[in-house]
Structure 1
């Protein structure tokens, strides 16, 4: 189920111990799936730290053991009675009137053990939770984990758990009547269905319309059919029938709108996404891709996969120099809210593009993986949301989604550089995060429920966190080179990327003022800092920004109204930067509020030495903040394999950054272009001089290697 808010009152201390350089390391190996594990310079250009003569341990030793441990997920499973309810049945229910489902949450106790917990509040008289003990979202994804583990290892216990969770899921699916194919979200421990939960979740009742849980049901049924097609044709046929039941429902609803578009703040958006989301649609597409691979001549499934993938790809937005930097946006009702629950979109698009033979769709996955993801990592790691500024908690779902997208897109686009990013991202589970400690324990199979921006953790280990940690571990176990490299990363030394400067920190000249509304939520996005500056024609706003050793892109975040309201001209002490429209957001359309809060691009970069950005309003303007983007951002990580730095370009031409190369070392680097493919090796003389070359819109992995 969705993320349970971080509740831990105290952060764990982060280790500041420097990890020594490896004495003998290899360069990047550019074969498919190959990533090096070696020492490199830290993030600050021109600096170097570390015990240069010490040798670090090899991650290969740890990589020999499986990372996937299903013990905690199996602990979450319980036996669920399946009472006779009109419209709800499952496979062989008369012979087996029970199934299995995972409890939604697991709270960590003082003694280190866990207690299984349902959603909402518990009524001790009935034993019912105000939501339920189990939910279809987690049941579906639990089935996917057991299916993949069984397929990957041949484990018969996982096969049986897959059968039982799929039986549980299909019991929640409404089988007859006008809502056939939709799914009830919640179920109590005694088997009672809870179609209407408290607090209310839409749709209400939960099987009255399509939903996230319908999409995830399609995901599990698609992968389930593909897994059982040969080994248990009878069960596979049942899953196939139930898959078509949900597809029929979707065709009556969202997919019936295929080819039509809604308007959201003046932008045409696909009207046929499940529940209006590329997030839900992508997870359904993952299941359909598995199913269509197994049954390529199923026209209705292939058509649904095509339509959903086209819709998801159609939500791609921005570029390397335009917010949101190539991300696939998750919700067609907002142009400025990206969240990690939509993070599987690039994985779905990349996978489906191969299954369908639609290379024209692949570009959306590539820009999300190769341009947005590096910016996300450099801004502080895999945040759960940008709305539109970075700075949210981080959870296993979001981390896993990035890993899956990078690995799938690397394969589909022949872009091995994305695997370097996947290793850095997966390192979050092993300690390369704001807390500094592992977020997943391979000895127990537990995964923490989240990490706040200040490093505080939620020590609980609910179903969603466990599921997505295990999905990453399954992917790493299936890719030994990637696994070894990820295990060599257990600390983030620094990230230098997107930063936010609040408009209200500036000096207002004229009649403008700081406005603090009752809520920071606009209906589509969040005001950074909960306030903004309102300017009138002729007013100016001077916002202080820190100096830098390089130029930066500046994105004024403006809450634009629908109507025209002139423009605001932006400049610094030495440069005219460009202008932004105060209004002109476009017709509201299907969004929940008029206007849009959006980071707007300027024509010129801010020189590094300039320390203020000044806006002069030509009409009424609402300025929330400045989003500052270095032309070259960095992510520096370390661990048993030594330090490495990823340099990320937001420039329109090749950039060069300089690091100090200590005596006895040489600079090893591999540059990748804007789609994650290797570019020609740099001049050896440049490497000797400590020059790191970064392709326009691409990224470079750099390391210091002992001669």
Structure 2
């Protein structure tokens, strides 16, 4: 599977080590979590050796733009047809961040572009700078300036916005769209190598157009009083972008496409709640300042509606309330869609539409706890967890939790935000800090086995800083987050491969040449093909509590009977083998999906048997404890998050360390405190109470 197979917005650094059969969608500014070989970066592009990492100081600011400042470079803006920017005649250059930064043997960093470098021309096959990172860099500097009053950040935001708007096409059939890549000499690369869609990159709407809307919206709000002339220019460019969207995706407002039998909104930018959500963030900022702008308010209303419509599942149905990012797959969730809850939560306030908030609450209060318990903020579930983790995925969770907590007045979400943000301070699979507040660097990713990519590209730096800005703005949240620097254990969703089972009757293990189906990944790269009358006995690890079982079935379109699932204590439920529904806009017929069963597997049972009356392709089983846990520690003490997938209130007995007392905070499935909860009831007894579909945060004091 290639990146273009997925969304084309995902770009991998050349020669980076790929994760086999992985859905890690590496975006510009974040290399694969495994470091690639050294790349020639050119002269005079190396940062000084940074100071060693230190513990973040609660009293000082966490936000340090030094590394992002280093990534910024002066870009000469050569006049070209269809491209200009604010006061180009007076200021023939702007500033933009280099896409990547490789860590050198001496600990310094070398700035690197995307693709391969041609030494003769100094050009990269993609470019030195890209619109995705320029837009988000502008957002970082805008927020830092607004939050701290820093004049240097104001100037860098100004120059980044000038650079970004130069990439926007101003006339002709592609007016309003955005060229993705730019070389260090200022020349544009409309068609990059390898080919990315759309090609040329300004020939249609794109993720980078959506991010341009994000930056323009926040830019207008920040500059409207300080520099009205520049704000007016940004407003004009925002209207130009919206004019383009109104001719493309937004022209389809109110219509729906079919995706494996499910109706999905047809008016999302580039078919995604992911891209649309980032545009919504900018539009929310702009419309809050100019509520009478009908063009922008209408776009905000319609895009927010489309994003919220991608909400799926519940506490006991995959994907557990997540807002799905791509309308062409019901089974691929990825973290580049992680800003969706933040977007609809913010829009619900700006538009005064409380109904939008429901999708944000389900994603943050139900899906996010399951994500954390399954091993942390993985960058993709496709549909099984187990991908690498990067700063974007972590930050998008933090941003969404904070925004939804504010909009819904749901304090439980801030407990989740603290646990999530602890990833940057060491509560991650590597056990080491992923962000250094002394230098402003952030690693480019962590593999599930703890291997670290030590590079620090633009995307990783940007999203680490966005989280730090959010923490600096909330002293209580900051204190809680920096007090978490170690993940002691996670006990959540796990996978048992179908091919580990014993086949009775006619059936075989199939290993296709690619695990990618066109919409999702086969877990382990294989599945079991069972014929009618056959059965599959799958061994499971012993457990002291009930589990929800989700058979992952690759259903075809044609009806093909069903598979009955049983345990030693009786039937669990059935799954359909076929009847997946009309293919519609998806890239492959049928659907690979984890289906719920009616009954949970009782504690102590160690096998499940599936017996089919028709042909079926069985991929794996997802096992979900009815109470999942995440245990963390640090200067803030030892804490455990208990997450419910049960249908009723659950009471767990836990051991209290000698000399400690236990404090618990109980929240329901919307992140609200449980009415009448006695949070001190287990102070000495060790009885933890978890609401159905909710979560409880337990902290041990006095250790």
Shift of 1:571: 0.6
Aligned to 1:270, which of 260, 265, 270?
265
SS of the equivalent of 2:243 reads: helix
Separation of aligned partners in 2, 1:159 and 1:394:
31
Aligned to 1:655, which of 625, 650, 672?
650
Shift of 1:664: 3.9
Match of 1:141 in 2: 136
- Aligned residue runs from structure 1 range 424-443, under 5 A: 424-443=419-438
Aligned to 1:7, which of 16, 34, 40?
34
Match of 2:221 in 1: 226
Structure 2: runs of 5+ lacking an equivalent: 1-26, 38-54
Shift of 1:662: 4.2
Separation of aligned partners in 2, 1:314 and 1:619:
34
Aligned to 2:568, which of 573, 578, 589?
573
Contact 2:75–2:96, Cα closer than 8 Å, also in 1? yes
Do residues 701 (structure 1) and 700 (structure 2) align?
A: no
- Aligned residue runs from structure 1 range 206-217, under 5 A: 206-217=201-212
Shift of 1:237: 0.2
Shift of 1:663: 4.8
Shift of 1:685: 5.3
Contact 1:254–1:275, Cα closer than 8 Å, also in 2? yes
Shift of 1:159: 0.3
Separation of aligned partners in 2, 1:68 and 1:706:
31
Q: Identify if the C-alpha distance between structure 1 residues 444 and 683 changes in structure 2 by more than 3 Å, giving closer, same or farther.
A: closer
Separation of aligned partners in 1, 2:116 and 2:281:
33
Q: Identify if the C-alpha distance between structure 1 residues 706 and 107 changes in structure 2 by more than 3 Å, giving closer, same or farther.
A: closer
Separation of aligned partners in 2, 1:374 and 1:662:
25
Shift of 1:504: 0.2
TM-score by length of 1: 0.92
Contact 2:528–2:618, Cα closer than 8 Å, also in 1? yes
Do residues 62 (structure 1) and 89 (structure 2) align?
A: no
Do residues 364 (structure 1) and 359 (structure 2) align?
A: yes
Do residues 353 (structure 1) and 348 (structure 2) align?
A: yes
SS of the equivalent of 2:359 reads: helix
Do residues 398 (structure 1) and 361 (structure 2) align?
A: no
After superposition, the C-alpha distances for 1:260-282 in whole angstroms (9 at most, x for unaligned) are 00000000000000000000000
Contact 2:71–2:111, Cα closer than 8 Å, also in 1? yes
- Aligned residue runs from structure 1 range 435-584, under 5 A: 435-584=430-579
Aligned to 1:80, which of 50, 54, 75?
75
SS of the equivalent of 2:57 reads: helix
Separation of aligned partners in 2, 1:385 and 1:340:
6
Match of 1:43 in 2: none
Separation of aligned partners in 1, 2:148 and 2:35:
36
Q: Identify if the C-alpha distance between structure 1 residues 273 and 685 changes in structure 2 by more than 3 Å, giving closer, same or farther.
A: closer
Higher RCO (CA < 8 A, seq sep 6+)? 1
TM-score by length of 2: 0.93
After superposition, the C-alpha distances for 1:231-286 in whole angstroms (9 at most, x for unaligned) are 10000000000000000000000000000000000000000000000000000000
Shift of 1:62: 2.0
Shift of 1:576: 1.0
Match of 1:332 in 2: 327
SS of the equivalent of 2:85 reads: coil
Match of 2:687 in 1: 691
After superposition, the C-alpha distances for 1:582-635 in whole angstroms (9 at most, x for unaligned) are 011100000000000000000000011110010001100100000000000000
Shift of 1:668: 1.4
Aligned to 1:307, which of 302, 309, 315?
302
Aligned to 1:620, which of 615, 621, 632?
615
Matched length? 658
Contact 2:662–2:682, Cα closer than 8 Å, also in 1? no
Do residues 240 (structure 1) and 235 (structure 2) align?
A: yes
Shift of 1:703: 1.9
Contact 1:9–1:456, Cα closer than 8 Å, also in 2? no
Shift of 1:6: 2.4
Separation of aligned partners in 2, 1:690 and 1:160:
55
SS of the equivalent of 1:671 reads: strand
